Amino acid sequence: MGQARRRTGGLLALAAALLLGSAPARAAFDPGYEARNFSKTTERATHLTLLPDYQQQLRTVGTANELQAAQILATDGPPTGRTFLGQLCWQHMDGCAGDTRLYDWAARYGHVTPVLFTARNGATLSGHVWATVAGPARRPGVVITNGSVQAPEELYWFAAETLAKAGYVVMTWDPQGQGYSDTVGEGPDALDGVPSQNGQPFYDGTEDALDFFFSGPGAPYVPRRSCSTGTDHAAKQRARVTAGLDSAYNPMHDLVDFSRVGLVGHSLGAGAVSYIGQLDPRVRTIVAYDNLSAPKAAPFGCRSGSSPRPVPALTKPALGLSADYGLTPQPNLSEPVRGAKSAGSRALAAAGVDSAEFVIRGGTHYEFSFIPNPAFGASLRGEDLVSWYTTAWLDKYLKGSDPTADARLLTDRWRADAAEGAIDPDHDGNLYSRYSSSPLDVHTAAGMHVVCEDARAACPALRPDGGPVPYSFLAAANTPDAAPGPGTPAALTGPSTQAPAGAAGTPPGATGPQALRACRDTTAPVSRLTRSRARLTRRGLRLAGTSTDAGCDGRAGATTGVSISVARLVPGRAAACRFLRPDGRLSPVRSCARTSYLPATGTARWTFTRRVRLPAGRYRVYVRGVDAAGNVERKARGRTDLRLRLR
């Protein structure tokens, strides 16, 4: 009788599920599979970092790094210079060295310049700027923000080198409290952001790093006032530049197309770029390593007002990459919640913004930061998958004209990777998690809307990309560079080294007389809509205009980005609007004051074209410019706005 009841109850439950159209029941947890899956966290150590040759190389690199740290402390250390003694990775040895196979890149494959600059709280921040001699005169830019604790910038050189080879100018840097950057700030801000793991230096520092990246000969870097006390630490930046210690501006400024800049971040850095990337109009797209979020509020305020921190509108395409196991990997004792890791990506997709989240099977938090220590386990092929998708995503949303970007983003290669299958305990070549879904929701250059609920499954949108098999980020990064010729920019003909600024014989980056004339540009661009060229029809919208920037101290500035807001006024409801979204649809009704923007093409002379089918009604258009200093243009009635009617 009991058995019959159980069978009847099971059938009724199944029938109810079918009638309601519910998702299939979660698979029963398999401890045997979990043991094999968790064993993948040892792959990097087993197949690479514990091998005798790698260990010998690690010892050599670690010794050299320890010597460099000592040299910096001797020439630019306490009591007047940098203070990083005592940080977990201050010697940059062993687990703090990163991938030792990447240390000869500056000597053989590309060009690297070490830089130093002053954060808004007075801390000195250390970094490098990466590029290749081969490549166009103007290139997209990427700023990479580290994770926390044992995560100096060396752990992210795999991404920097791969992206530089792909035609980007890349900046890596150490947030306050990490690597060769100061542990503390200066004066009244000495304890601002201490300890760094509270997260504030990752948010403030990402903005500071962007400010430095956008600085140039005509507008040298000047730090913002501190968030906590409002103190101005520009005098420290000027003094250190004059002394030949800090960099006056981004040494590769002249190579960068500042209308095409993206952010990449890991862990606390992922939280920072998820928020700052949506907020800062200079940023076009985001890649977040473990993990992407869709911010609903400002994680950290800035009471001095040097960095307003409102709730950002979700308009920038963003990629999330994560893994089965987290910061402290532990075996699962039950089936994980399937959609937990893709919540941020799905929230962006629901807002009409292109997004994706790929979860690495058997991977950990350290797929994204190379720590050559078996205590920080990782899979073997995760780093390659991360490099592949980072490059494909940025190529799609920053290069635009790359015809291969969609194919590489919509590839099926990671569902049957031979290199993975050769070492996997189940000989499974599929790198996507079995536990967590890996969704994708994007629009292709051809205008197709591609939605894939889980890349691990047989998703029809995923097809062969036509590239070499297997993919190796190391092979992509370590390819010969062009030799400097007569037309090579000066930034690529000087010293090239991955040693930190301040180590023996290494330059601090861009210096010179411009450093003494540094001014803080506080004037926003002035943009105008050309009314005679505005067209709104049932087939779409076309706008055009101009934007100029006054700069500072009599030196002309430059608009680095122009964006457009298109709002349909809701009939019968005062101050209620629906805004045009990236997917061509209108947002739900909200206050017209919560303006959201989409990027225009061009800067000094710009255009905005969208082939969309819009409903009849009254529309209001706004244009907004942003300059290299981060100044954002405010609305000015009659100049930045335009009213249109669609009948």
Residue 509 scores a pLDDT above 80: yes
| Average pLDDT rounded to a whole number, residues 553-563 | 83
- Predicted confidence (pLDDT) per residue in 378-409, tens digit: 999 999 999 999 999 999 999 987 889 999 99
For the chain, state the CA radius of gyration.
Answer: 25
Residue 83 scores a pLDDT above 80: yes
Q: Within 13 Å, how many C-alpha atoms sit on residue 515's CB side?
A: 24
- DSSP designation for 338: T
Give CA–CA dist 110/164, Å, rounded.
8
Give CA–CA dist 601/604, Å, rounded.
10
Q: Exposed/middle/buried for 80, CB within 10 Å: 0-12, 13-18, 19+?
A: exposed
- Predicted confidence (pLDDT) per residue in 463-500, tens digit: 999 999 999 999 999 999 999 998 899 999 999 999 99
pTM: 0.91
Q: Which residues contact 212 (CB under 8 A, 6 or more apart)?
A: 115, 117, 171, 221, 247, 249, 250
Residue 1 scores a pLDDT above 80: no
Task: Work out the percent of the chain whose per-residue pLDDT is above 70.
Answer: 95
- Predicted confidence (pLDDT) per residue in 135-171, tens digit: 999 999 999 999 987 799 999 999 999 999 999 999 9
Q: Which residues contact 527 (CB under 8 A, 6 or more apart)?
A: 545, 546, 547, 559, 562, 606, 623, 624, 625, 633, 639, 640
Bridging pattern class, strands 449-452 and 605-610 = unpaired
Confidence of residue 16 (pLDDT cuts 50, 70, 90): very low
Catalogue all structural domains in the chain, each as residue range(s) with its CATH number: 39-477 (3.40.50.1820), 526-646 (2.60.40.10)
Q: Within 13 Å, how many C-alpha atoms sit on residue 535's CB side?
A: 12
Residue 640 scores a pLDDT above 90: yes
**Of 94, 90, 88, which is closest to residue 55 (Cα–Cα)?**
94
Looking at 72-76, 280-284, 328-332, 511-515, which range is the least confident one? 511-515
What is the residue type of 43? E
Give residue 22's pLDDT: 37
Give residue 402's pLDDT: 86
